[in-house]
Amino acid sequence: MLWIKAFHIVFVAAWFAGLFYLPRILVNLAMVPSDSHAERERLLLMGHKLTRFMTLLAVPAIALGLWLLMLNWRGYLSAGGWMHAKLLLVVAVIGYHHGCARLLAGFKAGRNRRSHRWFRVFNELSVLLFASIVVLVVVRPF
């Protein structure tokens, strides 16, 4: 079980590294001048490659997390509400991941109408999700 937990943590950390960086690429895309096609294309390519890589990291992170949950199903769910809250936040992280991909697709299609300031705020959501999940797992406040 410790090996599964260790690899789960590794994949989650790597996945979140992408979730921290992709919104930063979106901020930069929102700031690209309309006449700077090369910069826009470079950022779109970076975002596309990062999204693909993040997804490849998310799959084993989620699979290993589900494996851990199944190994100790009764223990986790009877320990208190912290696991329920964590699972809800994991669903939010998956939604955030998909939201990032959709926003990137909007840039690619030329449909972005949001400012770089909006993306700067959006960028902070991944940090709040990560910190909340870590606190729930370590502190188990309820």
Cβ proximity of 112 and 104 under 8 Å = no
Q: 139: which residues sit within 8 A by CB, 6+ positions away?
A: 82
Per-residue pLDDT at 77 exceeds 80: no
Cβ proximity of 133 and 62 under 8 Å = no
Mean of pLDDT values over 111-116: 96
Q: Which has more confidence, 131 or 72? A: 131
What pLDDT does 141 receive? Answer: 93
Per-residue pLDDT at 30 exceeds 90: yes
What pLDDT does 36 receive? Answer: 96
Per-residue pLDDT at 76 exceeds 80: no
Per-residue pLDDT at 74 exceeds 90: no
Instruction: Name the strand (E) or helix (H) holding 59.
Output: helix 37-71
Per-residue pLDDT at 106 exceeds 80: yes
Cβ proximity of 14 and 64 under 8 Å = no
Q: 88: which residues sit within 8 A by CB, 6+ positions away?
A: none
- For 7, 39, 54, 70, 120, the CA distances from 131, given in Å and listed in that order, are 19, 33, 19, 24, 18
Cβ proximity of 129 and 52 under 8 Å = no
What pLDDT does 70 receive? Answer: 94
Cβ proximity of 39 and 25 under 8 Å = no
Both tokens of residue 95? 């939604």
What pLDDT does 80 receive? Answer: 81
What pLDDT does 7 receive? Answer: 98
Q: Where are the domains of the chain?
A: 2-139
Per-residue pLDDT at 73 exceeds 90: no
